[in-house]
């Protein structure tokens, strides 16, 4: 590990690109993608999800089996043919699910502003437990 830390500051572009396949990563896109703050109030929950660089047209929110899933995809840019990419990290897709329970889809609201997706979720309504008397024969 000590050698990896000392080699981390190297500035040789080609060595850096190829050596990164064989050493541990210090910056993992999965660890930093879609960082989320979750707040609770008396009416429900608010998810504030960081999604910098995405357009709202590229973001999808779905509700299924008590989970709300937020997914997004950045399309690859057209290649101009004048240069060759050594590494491409900006064309990514990501997805994250949050368990919210059984809520009405019509009550879920979302807005996207300045790279932050805000999703307003109602609290799961408690279902009344119906008790039935069984007649003894």
In order along its 137 residues, the chain shows pLDDT tens digits of 344 444 444 445 555 554 544 444 444 445 557 899 999 999 899 999 999 888 889 999 999 998 999 999 887 766 777 788 777 777 778 899 999 888 888 999 999 999 999 999 998 777 767 777 778 87
Q: Which residues pair with 103 in a beta bridge?
A: none
Q: What is the pLDDT of residue 32?
A: 56
CATH number given to 29-77+86-122: 2.60.40.790
What strand order describes the sheet that includes 116-122? 36-40, 44-50, 116-122, 109-113
Q: What is the pLDDT of residue 16?
A: 53
Q: What is the pLDDT of residue 35?
A: 92
Q: What is the pLDDT of residue 84?
A: 80
Q: What is the pLDDT of residue 109?
A: 95
Which residue, among 28, 30, 97, has the nearest Cα to 65 in the 3D structure? Answer: 97
Helices and strands (DSSP H and E) totals, the chain: 3, 7
For the chain, the domains span 29-77+86-122
pTM confidence score = 0.64
Q: What is the pLDDT of residue 13?
A: 53
Cα–Cα distance between 87 and 84 in angstroms, integer? Answer: 9
Token duo for residue 68: 């709300």
Phi-psi sector, 107: left (phi>0), alpha (psi -120 to 50), beta: alpha
Which residue, among 130, 136, 66, 52, has the nearest Cα to 104 in the 3D structure? Answer: 66
């Amino acid at each position: 590990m000590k050698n990896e830390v000392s080699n981390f500051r190297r500035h040789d572009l080609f060595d850096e690109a190829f050596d990164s396949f064989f050493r541990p990563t210090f910056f993992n896109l999965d660890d930093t993608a879609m960082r989320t703050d979750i707040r609770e109030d008396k009416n429900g929950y608010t998810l504030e999800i960081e999604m910098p660089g995405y357009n709202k047209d590229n973001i999808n929110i779905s509700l299924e089996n008590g989970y709300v899933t937020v997914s997004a995809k950045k399309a690859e840019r057209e290649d101009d043919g004048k240069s060759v990419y050594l590494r491409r990290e900006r064309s990514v897709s990501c997805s994250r699910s949050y368990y919210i329970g059984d809520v009405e889809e019509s009550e879920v609201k979302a807005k996207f502003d300045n790279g932050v997706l805000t999703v307003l979720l109602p609290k799961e309504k408690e279902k009344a437990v119906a008790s039935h008397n069984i007649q003894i024969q």
